[in-house]
Each structure stands twice: as structure tokens, then as C-alpha cells.
Amino acid sequence: MTSRDRLSQFKVLTFDVVGTLIDFEGGMLAYLRQSGAAPAHVSDEAILDAYRGSRTAGKTLRYPDDLERCYFDLVRDCGLKDDKALARGFRDSAEAWPAFPDSVSALKRLGSRYRLVAMTNAQRWALDHFARTLGNPFWDSISVDEALCEKPDPNFFGFARGRISRSGIVRDEILHVAQSQYHDTAGSSAGRARKASAAPLPCRNSPSPISIFRPLRVLLTRLAYDNAPSHPSRTSENPGAD
């Protein structure tokens, strides 16, 4: 079976959001610079390194509420201004994080051929902002608040498969697209580079990704113009609808 044939079997594309469609690092750095919280002599990479250390140190809260706690680790490690209001603003900056330049147009094209589902470890309040930034392209969306666990926990993907299956769609018809293979396709990735993986929606014995595409727009363009089946417009069949 060719790569094109394999892609054409899918009816639903599920997406990681933060780091794949939404430029959270750029958004966080913009807030810290524009607010005056970050000293000019501290590099962006030093801030991001300290941020990653804080986020992987344990005792984290749900995201992006956790950014308020994380801010004070950056105060200690990077010399940010010690200010509660700035810490709260760091958390709230998620509302204004930008989409990557290719995200909105690609999702619009993909939405004419596939049902699009957002799957994120972010909280619902943040996901709602991300969806608006992206042009509200999603047929359904799942946040940590619904799944009650975070990727790469297999229970997250099981929850998503069950939710999507209510519309008669089986696992082999679902393709998951993500920037982080660790969280989303049972591999690992590191560094600032934005690259995308595509794999059948993971389960406990998830297969290797179909392909690795670099940059993400190459994957999105490939999917958008692949000979994939079209689907009806969004209706009350949406598994997230009440």
C-alpha cells in the first residue's frame, strides 16, 4: 500500500494543539518581553530551558494554570521580576498565543476533506481561546478537563477513540497529527524545532508513525491535497454536542 493510499483511508484527523498549531513558546516569550518581566540580558533560550525544567520537575498543576507557579521558578532561575500580577499575566497570556503562520489556512483546507478533532493537555478555558485563534475549525475537541488525564496516558487516547466512535468511526480511520512524538505518537522529540508526526491514533501498542514531515506545513499540505474522502458539514452528529 502506498503512502497516498494509506492517507486516503482516514476520515478523522486528531491534532495536538499547543506546539503543533499554536506557537506557545513565541506567545510566552512575547508576554515576558512586552510586560518587562524578563531582563533584557537573559536570552530567549535560557528562559525556555528554565521553563522546560520547571514543567518537568513534578508537582505541576493543570496547564496553563501551572504557568503561574512556573513563573516563580523563572524568577529564581532567570531573574524575572518577582511580581504576583506578572505571574498571573503569564498564565493569562495563553489567551493571546498566536497560531503558527501555516495553521489557519491548512486547517481550513483540511476541514473540507476530514473531520478535525483537537486533543490537548491544556484546560478547556485555554482550548476555547486556541480554537478561536485557529478559526474554530474543529468538529470536536477534547481537553484535559474532559479526559481527566494527560497524553501520553493511554486513557486519554482511549477516551478520544470512544468519543469519536459514537459517530461510527473506527480507530483505523483516525490519523493523529502532533509535534511531540513523546506526548502523542509514542516516540520522543526534543528541542525548539517544529516537526510533525502522523500516526494512527495511539493505543497501548502504538505503531511507529507513518511518516515524519518537516516542517509541519508540508504534512498539512500533503493531507489537504491528498485524494481523501470529503464529509458532510458539521452537524449535531458531532460527538461533543449535547
Q: Is residue 239 part of a domain?
A: no
Q: 54 and 174 in one domain?
A: no
| Exposure class string for 157-174: b at 16+ Cβ within 10 A, else e | bbbbbebbeeeebeeebb
Q: Is residue 233 part of a domain?
A: no
pTM, rounded to two decimals: 0.82
Q: Is residue 17 part of a domain?
A: yes
Q: 198 and 178 in one domain?
A: yes
- Boundary of a domain, candidates 33, 66, 96: 96
Q: 177 and 65 in one domain?
A: no
Domain interval for residue 221: 3-23+98-225
Q: Which of these, 160, 113, 116, 164, lies nearest to 137 by C-alpha position?
A: 116
Could you read off the pLDDT tens digit of each residue along the chain, which spans 242 residues? 435 556 778 899 999 999 999 999 999 999 999 999 999 999 999 999 999 999 999 889 999 999 999 999 999 999 999 999 999 999 999 999 999 998 998 899 889 889 999 999 999 999 999 999 999 999 999 999 999 999 989 999 999 999 999 999 998 899 888 876 444 433 323 333 455 566 666 654 444 344 555 555 676 666 666 544 444 333 323 333 33
Q: Is residue 30 part of a domain?
A: yes
Q: Is residue 7 part of a domain?
A: yes
Q: 141 and 172 in one domain?
A: yes
CATH of the domain at 210: 3.40.50.1000
Q: 59 and 19 in one domain?
A: no
- 151 and 63 in contact (C-beta within 8 Å)? no
Q: 107 and 78 in one domain?
A: no
Q: Is residue 184 part of a domain?
A: yes
Q: 67 and 162 in one domain?
A: no
Q: Is residue 232 part of a domain?
A: no
Q: 114 and 74 in one domain?
A: no
Q: How many domains does the chain have?
A: 2
Q: Is residue 130 part of a domain?
A: yes
Q: 107 and 87 in one domain?
A: no
Q: Cα–Cα distance between 239 and 56 in angstroms, integer?
A: 33
Q: 112 and 85 in one domain?
A: no
List 14's β-bridge partners, or say none: 117, 176
Q: 104 and 61 in one domain?
A: no
